[in-house]
Chain A
């Protein structure tokens, strides 16, 4: 028996479902999707850097762009936090993924605001698409086992205290 048009209309939500994006944003408790990216600055060498290289450390993966004002607020604060923890011998690292379509814009910004953490480039936006980054900036705090433990979207100055608290908790888990 052929389907009547009215019945066919019932299939429309299914069709719309196919039209919708099939990927989902990375959330707390999920394994951080793996990535391998080249460094943004030539000072960081030519070798590609993978998230897996930092297994055993707490990693703060930060998606940023030169056109995003809150990202620029976060950079010096993250650098200060990272340097303080690393100097204290804590297994912590920041991986800052620049998503500018022209990486030169990111490099230019870091010349004015130098950071000691690793800055990576992803002008094609493959990694933010993998994580389904909901806004800019978005950061993922990854524990020593590679699990995402905090997703932080947006940034204002006072957020650094909350981030430090979460980082400290994860560092305590290692010890």
Chain B
């Protein structure tokens, strides 16, 4: 009986988790005005960001994949 209840609870939990995935929708391209603001950039100074990235890929022998240019508006 307890085993059955635990299974049912597990199933219900999974279904609820999946239903909540609907909340993970991406920000639409035309709604990124605030994300595109300079203060939203991870590194606010583009030159400093480029230098950091250069040092990083020189040391780690890898580049890219850390962030996008331009503060996340996705328009570059």
List residues of chain A with CB within 8 A of the CB of B22. 19
Interface size on A, residues (CB 8 A): 28
| A15→B18 contact, CB < 8 A | yes
List residues of chain B with CB within 8 A of the CB of A47. none
Interface centre among A16, A21, A68, A100 (most CB of B within 10 A): A68
Taking the nearest CB of chain B, how far is it from the CB of A40, in angstroms?
Answer: 15
Binds A, one of B31-39, B47-55, B56-64: B31-39
List residues of chain A with CB within 8 A of the CB of B18. 12, 15-16, 19
Residue of A nearest to B20 (CB): A19
Taking the nearest CB of chain A, how far is it from the CB of B46, in angstroms?
Answer: 12
Taking the nearest CB of chain B, how far is it from the CB of A72, in angstroms?
Answer: 10
Residue of B nearest to A15 (CB): B18
| B36→A68 contact, CB < 8 A | yes
Interface size on B, residues (CB 8 A): 24
- Cross-chain pair count, CB within 8 angstroms: 66
CB < 8 Å neighbour of A138 from B8, B29, B31: B29
List residues of chain B with CB within 8 A of the CB of A154. 75-76
**Is B19 positioned at the interface, with any CB of A under 8 Å from its CB?**
yes
Render B56-74 as a binary contact track against A, CB cut-off 8 A, 1 for contact.
0000000000000010011
Residues of B within 8 A of A (CB): 7-8, 10-11, 14-15, 18-19, 21-22, 25, 28-33, 36-37, 70, 73-76
